[in-house]
Structure 1
Amino acid sequence: MKKFKVGAVAAVATAALVLTGCGGGAKEAAGAAGDNSVVIDMWAGSEDDTAALNAQLEIAKADNPDLNITLRTAPWGDFFTKMTTNMASGNMACVTGMNSGMLSSYTAGFAELTPEDLTKAGLKEADFAPGSLDILKNKGKTYGIPFDISTMLVYYNADLLKASNAPEPKVGWTFDDFEATAKAATHDKKYGFAVGMGDFQWQALPIAKSGVQPATADGTLDLTNPAFVEASTWYSSLVTEQKVAAPVASASDTGWGETQYSGGNAAMAVDGTWNAVGYLENDSNFTAGMAPLPTGPNGNKSLILGSGYGISKDCKNKDAALKVLGSLLGKKSQDHIASSGRSYPARAESQPLYFESIDAKYRDQVKTAFEAAFQNVEGQQVSDNWSKVGVYVQPQLVSVYNGQESMAKVLETAQQQFGK
């Protein structure tokens, strides 16, 4: 089976591991007043990831020949484990990578970025796609600028749908359409849908259907919002009542929905835009398609997600760091990211290059789905304990999907534990 990219916004699993990739002394990371050195910390899970980051590093060096810029990398879990240590010791790198889903746990380590800071970095809000600057905001404050953006889509197996005479998902479809397609495609030991286990994978449809997020803009956990509970209960009923999705076998099956879909066992699943090309070129050799999330009573609401860079509070040479930030998020770097097809850039003028990087036979479909999906996005709202919420809820979903526990009870318990 094709190994899909684990994007920066995939389900997060932190690990208490010791790393060396992001090590270094406080002076090396934070610099000293008047120093011309700037350290960049970013995660990298493969040689390809590191090569892509090094290409951006070279752009930053060429833009700033007077600065001594160095890059340090570590795998995803290690990166955030070390960041916790660096925050406590005043050793965060001047330019540090951050992901939208992780920000609430690390805001104490980042400097708030002002409009004046963006000007010093040579950046303008108008440079970036609508909604993208919300990605690294928390409680209304900006802690970073994104280099890529993503949102959730419904992916479908066009061959299974055709064999079932089920209508294909399309731009503007509704939740009634979704249910009709899922029911028609459920037969002969195949299911119309595959439920998700990751935060984004399971929450996307309840958020779209209810029109509300499980946290408020001020960071208050709101898992028991009646509209969200109702929509989440509907989601679990796709397994327990409507029988259009299979129950999850084990809590260790964190990518259940994605695996069931890519393996040809389910006609539809929800996943991020970061896996679009991987699904189109799947090794199961089925014809894949994609569409925005269905439209609910309150419109078509979806989250805009992604990763970027911020400036640490420890940084002693902030002006130099802002120059580097500007280079990493400038047109040359964003064009490079887009042209490589690795991720969808946050900078609006670079986005057409991403579509040009895709095989011509898929290009129009991806462009249509992406442009529609990003029309009604909003930044993810999270509480200070958001990462703990996900760690608690995910294994409980197995019992929910098996009918042993109600979604409402799981959400209520999580609210009681982490809503303070």
Structure 2
Amino acid sequence: MTDFAIPDWWGGLTGERLGVVWLDPADWEPAWQHVEESGAMSLEHRDVDDELLRKGKLLVGTGPESVRRWTRQRLAAAWYVDPDEPDVLWCALGGFYPAWLWVPVEPTAAGVREVLGEPFPAAPAARVELSRFVRGFLGLRHLVTVPEVPAEEGVPPWEAVPAEDVVVADGSSLDRYAKIVKFLDPQPWGSARQEDPYPEETPGGGGRMVPSLMDLAPIRDGHRLQRLGRVPSMTWRTLHSRSQLSIEIHTREVVCAAVRYRPSPGSHRPVVRRINEVHGERYPEDLPLDVIGVLGGWEFGVEDDLARSLDDPDDADAVGAGLRCLAALWHGDLRRSLELREWAAHPDPAVRANLAMIAHSYNHRFLLQELALSETDAEELARLEDLLYHEPDPDAFNAFHDDFGGAAIMVDEDGDPVGAWEDE
């Protein structure tokens, strides 16, 4: 397909050793013929954007590859040129990336190396090396959903096909869904593990992956356990940036996504800026693109969105719910969490009850003290003082409704099993 001029830079760039397999110009094909499913949910307006951005672009190269841990799925980057804009090369870090995540690249060896990062994919990192952090509100527990991914006999779980129906995002449904999302390595870990516990190679050696091991190993080895006293969470490593993306359930109901990451390359940031402008998002501009590929299936609420629920102090239901959501976003940030004290004297007991639950869930003794100082009801004051002087046990709620076939779901700080309870 060569009914247009080959870009002037083509000969020089394709002679470089960059890990890219450049196609013969006679084999260039329209980008819309190379739509690869990512497995991730996507909102309708983003699908429309993907179609618009693919128009006119041609696939001109593939590679280098990334491999999803234990699956042997080899996922190559893809490179595109728009004949109407020949001085720009477009990079999809994986052929499954939608076009709204493609990065415009200067068509030089330096430009290609910068957009990929060195090494590609990024090296695995400990939590302390993931220097940036962001948390967003996804919704209440019974309203956050994922596609149903039914098991199919003889089909590896990472190759399963999602159904059209959606289901509530509990531990089992999140696990099955994440296995088909190519932006993620498919192995989750719970809050009992603070570091990624999985080896790069398949357990047992030999490099051969038994599909059932993908489901068995996390439970057998205790990696799906929740830790009593920590916010219940499920965490995955992303494919390219090696970020850690967690789904958390705060105060039994508030679902958040939390991400620890290294800042993305500078060339990626205009892409995030455009997503924020066009799609009304407020992602940090240095947030890695593979993370956004996962988060793009949900509404990602930030503090400004949630603070509106506090605009009418007389609406006790909205204020109470808003405070629980903000407390979740502020978890780990003491300076912001101290702002909860400002509501301790609210006249409605329902608001104060929500604050007491927040204080218990996060062990905010300062908030219990503030509530006690403001309380005028003798019976409620006695209850607050009892919480202060006789600290109750941490909440053992089975937030993800996990069922490991009789195996422990939660452990204490010594690693001993703890009985968990459910609300239904």
**TM-score surpassing 0.5?**
no
Largest Rg, 1 or 2: 2
**Higher helix fraction (1 or 2):** 1
* TM tier relative to shorter chain: under 0.3
